[in-house]
C-alpha cells in the first residue's frame, strides 16, 4: 500500500528538503519504490541538492497543464524517482498548485512511498500538500520560532482535514539554549520520531549534490535517516 507523506515545517530552512532527499534515498536503499516531489515551486532546491542538471520538463510544466508527471520524473540514487520543480520565475507563475490533486493518482500509482517537499509559509502552494498526503511529517528545529511555526502547521493541517503523523527534530545540538525534545513534544502535541544532530556533513553532502546517506553513510545523521526510513517501512 502506498504511503504519501508531506514534509512540512512552516518556517524556512528547518531541513525539509534535506529530510525529503535523505529519507527518500534511505527508503530506496531499502528496496522500496520511492518518489520525492519538489512542491517548493518558488524556491526549488530538491533537484539541486540531488545533482539533477538536465531537467527539461519539471513539476512547473505539469502543474501548468502542459506535461504529464511521468515526463517530469528523473532517476536518482538506488532508483529513487525525483520530480524537481523548475528554477524560472515564469515557470513558477504558470504552475497552478491546485493541479497537484489531479496528478496525485499518477504519482501514487508509481511508488510505494511518496514524499512531498513542502515550501515554507501558509500560501496555497504550502497548504495543498497538507491536504493530499496520508500524513504530514513536521521538521522542527530546537528553537522557539521553529516550534511556533510547526505548531501553526499542525493546527492548520487538522483544520483542513489532514493528519500530522509525527515530527523530526533537526539540527539538535548539545547547547543549553536548545529546546528539549520533551518540551517540543508537549508544546507541539505530536511524537518526535527521531532527532537529527547538527552535522557539518549535511552541508558538505549538499555541496557535493549527493544525499548524506550516500556520501557519508557512517555519519550520525545518516544513521538517523536510515532508522526513520526503516520505521516507515515497518522494518523492526
Q: List contacts with Mg ion (CB under 5 A).
A: 16-17, 40, 45
The span of 66-74, 97-105, 144-152, 198-206 binding ligand ADP (CB under 6 A) equals 198-206
- Applying CB under 6 A, which of residues 57, 59, 206, 232 lies at the interface with ligand ADP? 206
Q: Which is nearer to ligand ADP, 1 or 174 (CB)?
A: 174
Does residue 18 belong to the site contacting ligand ADP (CB under 6 A)? yes
Q: Cβ atoms within 10 A of the Cβ of 9, count?
A: 28
Site mask for ligand ADP (CB under 6 A), range 62-91, x = bound: ------------------------------
- Applying CB under 6 A, which of residues 219, 221, 226, 229 lies at the interface with ligand ADP? 221
Q: CA-CA distance, 229 to 65, in Å (whole number)?
A: 33
For residue 1, the SS3 value is coil
The span of 50-58, 89-97, 160-168, 192-200 binding ligand ADP (CB under 6 A) equals 192-200
Going by C-alpha positions, the residue among 4, 3, 2, 8 that lies closest to residue 168 is: 8
- For 40, list phi and psi in degrees, rounded to 5: -80, 80
Let me know if 195 is exposed, middle or buried by CB neighbors in 10 A (0-12, 13-18, 19+).
Answer: middle
CA dihedral (111, 115, 118, 124) positive or negative: positive
Q: Retrieve residue 15's grid coordinates.
A: 531541513
Q: Which is nearer to Mg ion, 117 or 199 (CB)?
A: 117
Rounded to the nearest whole angstrom, what is the least distance from the CB of residue 53 to ligand ADP in the complex?
A: 18
Instruction: Give the H/E segment covering residue 114.
Output: strand 113-117
* Residue ranges that bind ligand ADP, judged by CB under 6 A: 9, 12-18, 45, 170-171, 196, 198-199, 202-203, 206, 221
Amino acid at each position: 500500500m502506498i504511503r504519501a507523506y508531506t514534509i512540512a515545517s512552516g518556517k524556512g530552512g528547518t531541513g525539509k528538503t534535506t529530510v525529503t532527499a535523505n529519507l527518500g534515498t534511505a527508503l530506496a536503499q531499502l528496496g522500496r519504490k520511492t518518489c520525492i516531489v519538489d512542491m517548493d515551486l518558488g524556491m526549488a532546491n530538491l533537484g539541486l541538492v540531488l545533482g539533477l542538471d538536465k531537467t527539461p520538463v519539471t513539476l512547473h510544466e505539469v502543474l501548468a497543464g502542459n506535461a504529464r508527471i511521468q515526463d517530469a520524473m528523473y532517476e536518482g540514487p538506488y532508483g529513487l524517482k525525483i520530480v524537481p520543480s523548475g528554477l524560472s520565475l515564469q515557470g513558477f507563475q504558470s504552475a497552478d498548485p491546485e493541479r497537484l490533486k489531479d496528478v496525485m493518482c499518477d504519482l501514487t500509482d508509481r511508488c510505494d512511498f511518496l514524499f512531498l517537499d513542502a515550501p515554507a509559509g501558509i500560501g496555497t502552494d504550502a497548504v495543498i500538500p497538507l491536504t493530499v498526503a496520508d500524513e504530514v511529517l513536521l521538521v522542527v528545529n530546537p528553537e522557539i520560532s521553529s516550534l511556533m511555526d510547526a505548531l501553526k502547521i499542525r493546527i492548520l493541517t487538522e483544520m483542513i482535514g489532514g493528519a500530522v503523523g509525527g515530527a523530526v527534530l533537526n539540527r539538535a545540538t548539545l547547547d543549553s539554549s536548545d529546546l528539549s525534545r520533551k518540551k517540543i513534544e508537549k508544546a507541539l502535541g505530536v511524537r518526535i520520531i527521531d532527532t537529527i544532530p547538527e552535522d557539518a556533513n549535511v552541508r558538505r553532502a549538499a555541496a557535493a549534490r549527493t544525499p548524506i546517506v550516500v556520501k557519508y553513510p557512517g555519519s550520525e545523521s545518516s544513521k538517523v535517516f536510515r532508522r526513520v526510513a526503516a520505521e516507515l517501512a515497518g522494518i523492526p
